[in-house]
Amino acid sequence: MQIEEIIKLIETVSKNNVDSLNYATDSEKIVIKKNKTKLVAGEVQAVPVTQSVSFEASNTEEAVTAKGHTITSPLVGTFYSSPSPDAPSFVNVGDRVKKGQVIGIIEAMKLMNELESDFDGVIKEILVKDETVVEFGQPLFILE
């Protein structure tokens, strides 16, 4: 395979919702994989899982209500409460969570994005059901 063909394969994978591509002949083998992304609740930015990034609040207003700390959706997508249909939920009402702990998944454009808590606390309320389409900024959890 020529370098131009390899570049075209990489561009095709990048432009489409393909997570990986395996191509093999008797004499050559090409494997192309995309990085998964991890999302921090309340942040808009997605970062590759292989990076370690810490986020500080970018403004002084936190999503705090009279009920407690609200965790909102960082993007539009489908919310999943567990890693697979037969697995238990990441969190339940009454569970203690730490900042950075995975509390759900939001699928956007065929990519599964881990949603992490941006706050230490106890899950007081879960505001969305599994497999619900969520909007950017939509409240998902209330912590106390």
Residues 51, 117, single domain; the answer is: yes
> Which of 51 and 136 is assigned the larger pLDDT?
136
Q: Record the pTM.
A: 0.55
What range defines the domain where residue 74 resides? 37-143
Whether residue 54 is found in the same domain as residue 118: yes
* C-alpha pair distances (Å), 28 with each of 22, 34, 108: 11, 20, 33
- The average pLDDT across 3-22 equals 70
Residue 7, H or E segment: helix 3-15
Residue 127 has pLDDT above 90, yes or no: yes
pLDDT of res. 105? 94
Place of tokens 């990076």: 51
Rounded (5°) CA angle 47-60-141: 60
Domain of 52, CATH number, reads 2.40.50.100
> Minimum mean pLDDT among 2-6, 63-67, 115-119: which range?
63-67
Q: Is residue 131 located within the same domain as residue 66?
A: yes
Q: What is the pLDDT of residues 55-106, one digit of tens each?
A: 333 433 344 444 688 999 999 999 999 999 899 999 999 999 999 999 999 9
State the total domains in the chain.
Answer: 2
Backbone φ, ψ for residue 3 (5° rounding): -60, -35
How high is the pLDDT of residue 130?
A: 94
Q: In this prediction, what percent of the chain has a pLDDT beyond 90?
A: 44
Same domain, 19 and 60: no
Q: Verify that 56 and 7 share a domain, yes or no.
A: no
Burial of 110 (0-12, 13-18, 19+ CB in 10 A): exposed
**Could you tell me the pLDDT band of residue 8, with boundaries at 50, 70 and 90?**
confident
